[in-house]
Structures are given as structure tokens and as C-alpha cells.
């Protein structure tokens, strides 16, 4: 992340979605839950950025 930010002209960021294996039984369900959480983080970050501009 630091290396990407050092050479990037634009702001660079990363989002992750974290799950525990006990939260869902099958790998596809775990991936779907992690994906859902990652996009929730992205939405919150975008909303926070929009609010700061207003």
C-alpha cells in the first residue's frame, strides 16, 4: 500500500472484508460475506468523503 501511494498521482486506498470460517459453512458463502463487508466499507468511505466536501 505504501509503495502504491508513493508513486500514485491520485489517492490510493484498499478495502478488505474479513470473515471467520464459523460464520458460513461453504467457501462460496464465506467469499460472498467477505465481499459484502468489503463493499460496505467502500460505501462508508465514499460517504465520509462526500460529507467532508459538502
Bigger pLDDT: 54 vs 22: 22
Query: Which pLDDT tens digit goes with each residue over 5-50?
Result: 677 677 667 778 889 888 878 999 999 999 999 999 889 888 887 7
Query: pLDDT value at position 52?
Result: 65
> Residue 33 and residue 25: Cα distance in Å, rounded?
11
What pLDDT sits at residue 7?
A: 75
Distance (Å, whole) CA 17 – CA 38: 4
Per the listing, cell 486506498 goes with 13
DSSP letter assigned to residue 9 = S
pLDDT at position 8: 66
Query: How far is 22 from 42, CA to CA, in rounded Å?
Result: 24
Amino acid at each position: 500500500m505504501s509503495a502504491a501511494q508513493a508513486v500514485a498521482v491520485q489517492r490510493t486506498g484498499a478495502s478488505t472484508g474479513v470473515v471467520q470460517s464459523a460464520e458460513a459453512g461453504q467457501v462460496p458463502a464465506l467469499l460472498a460475506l467477505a465481499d459484502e463487508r468489503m463493499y460496505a466499507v467502500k460505501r462508508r468511505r465514499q460517504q465520509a468523503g462526500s460529507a467532508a466536501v459538502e
